[in-house]
Structure 1
């Protein structure tokens, strides 16, 4: 981890959910001061307990911080927050948007901010909140190369590697590509374990065999035990990934691709959400792939 060169340099953070709170923990541990905003008072208090300072208004964050991280559900919320900063945003600031959003509106937002002299980086993150807390995520950053270099200390504090992917919007594009493959790996693991379960195989041994053979993927290390033991406390919510998969399918089809695997993945996630698993961890996708419970017929 690289500590900031100036003691207690203050980083703004808007959005203190699963990912945002994990960012805050990493930044505070790395020697930064954190001024964070969230509409939920409990999340602001949680930041205070970590050693940061929580505020209720995004404008206050923009007013006091030269670099501001956004950790929000979609590009729509990001645009709303930027609009709320009108009159407070100033030339020379850098907005680091970690939101997984539609690449076109993301690039457009960069243009809106550039007109005010503000630099926008779409710094998408590959990994869960638990992996953020361990510093094990990868960042894919689109936007101005000089601003990317200027934020190297922040990126090094949050994750293990950061890639500059090109112009603004390319970070969002890269995130859709990586999320497509990651999500299908997770869905394949869930379906494989569901099949093993239906064949009365020992699931712990099944997972061990898959880890030892060419079927292995790193998702087995983060989600395998969770699927086996039903540990669905959220590191990354299923509904949030469903939002991403819908965007993946839409973006791919706009590019002229059929996207059959992602379309099937979307349908499974929608079934899991309809069954009440949306707010649980995305490993709960296995619940939509398990054999239905056979209920005895009443006489």
Structure 2
């Protein structure tokens, strides 16, 4: 297969994917509105393009990893108007379903094959190729990208119709939101009880109470160090709003998820927006009157 791939959006996730693909022999053509990211990724072997249309002209397959519905719509329009033959375009961001469907419509009308492929995993997991691709859309197109997905992730699942990838990601992120706050709650209770936080990480991490989120975030909580962020609190607010709207539309109560929302909101009020979401531990420390 042609091992040339375009990546539009070279942030925490897109940048890590780009590095992994370069390391595995891919020619990666990338772009980002942040020129510092372009400079950093150019030094890592990514060929930097002027914009989305130039990426589309250079690569038969494109991954888009973008921060907002506005950015996704603009990129879809630019690819559609680039005047290139059929491209497979896999959108890997977490966005509302309506935004993904608008992306699909714009690209399909121009003769391209859009896929909805959000990723399960943090930025730290992306660096280690520990991502799961929730692929949905055209089955043949998904199959044709199996090597690509395998070179930056550990597993790919084909979930069927376009949009099912996003639906599954909403479920996964609901659990992440709950497990992250639950991990912080447990760490604060343990520390206030006089337990060594490093011991808590080791002991709980080896027992029935553990989770992937605890294993990733509890060490940060133990050290009270939340940078570099694998998922910023400010970005997570966007994902939580999407899940909340999705559940509301279906008329489904989410009491555990809903209980976490004020804690993330408080993290924003405390100026922790650029910190990792594990920083909710500080919010719960304040509520418990605990000082390290």
Report the TM-score range of the alignment, normalised by the length of the smaller protein.
over 0.9
Q: Is the 8 A contact 2:27 2:46 kept in 1?
A: yes
Q: After superposition, give the CA deviation of every residue in 1:43-96 in whole Å (9 maximum; x if it has no partner).
A: 111111001111332111112111111011133321111122342153420111
Structure 1 pair 204–84 and aligned structure 2 pair: CA distance change class (3 A): same
Superposition pairs of residues 219-238 of structure 1, within 5 angstroms = 219-233=213-227, 234-238=229-233
Q: Is the 8 A contact 1:34 1:52 kept in 2?
A: yes
Superposition pairs of residues 1-299 of structure 1, within 5 angstroms = 5-6=1-2, 9-233=3-227, 234-292=229-287
Q: Is the 8 A contact 2:77 2:107 kept in 1?
A: no
CA shift, 1:24, in A, is 0.6
User: What is the distance in 2 between the residues matched to 1:293 and 1:90?
Assistant: 58
CA shift, 1:208, in A, is 2.5
Give the alignment's Cα RMSD to 1 decimal. 1.7
Q: Any runs of at least 4 consecutive aligned residues in structure 1 with deviations exceeding 4 A, and if so which?
A: 292-295
Q: Is the 8 A contact 1:203 1:228 kept in 2?
A: yes
Give secondary structure in 2 for the equivalent of 1:31.
coil
Q: After superposition, give the CA deviation of every residue in 1:22-42 in whole Å (9 maximum; x if it has no partner).
A: 011111011111111111111
Q: Is the 8 A contact 2:136 2:163 kept in 1?
A: yes
Structure 1 pair 293–249 and aligned structure 2 pair: CA distance change class (3 A): closer
CA shift, 1:139, in A, is 0.6
User: What is the distance in 1 between the residues matched to 2:288 and 2:170?
Assistant: 35
Give secondary structure in 1 for the equivalent of 2:84.
coil
Q: Is the 8 A contact 1:123 1:141 kept in 2?
A: yes
Q: After superposition, give the CA deviation of every residue in 1:246-274 in whole Å (9 maximum; x if it has no partner).
A: 11111101100122222221211111011
CA shift, 1:105, in A, is 2.5
Give secondary structure in 2 for the equivalent of 1:154.
helix
Q: After superposition, give the CA deviation of every residue in 1:158-193 in whole Å (9 maximum; x if it has no partner).
A: 101000111111111111101111221111001111
User: What is the distance in 2 between the residues matched to 1:153 and 1:71?
Assistant: 19
CA shift, 1:206, in A, is 2.2
Give secondary structure in 2 for the equivalent of 1:117.
coil
Q: State the aligned residue count.
A: 289
User: What is the distance in 2 between the residues matched to 1:104 and 1:113?
Assistant: 14
TM-score between the two structures when normalised by the length of structure 1: 0.92
Q: Is the 8 A contact 2:80 2:110 kept in 1?
A: no
User: What is the distance in 2 between the residues matched to 1:177 and 1:92?
Assistant: 32
List gaps (5 residues or longer) in structure 2.
none
CA shift, 1:292, in A, is 4.8
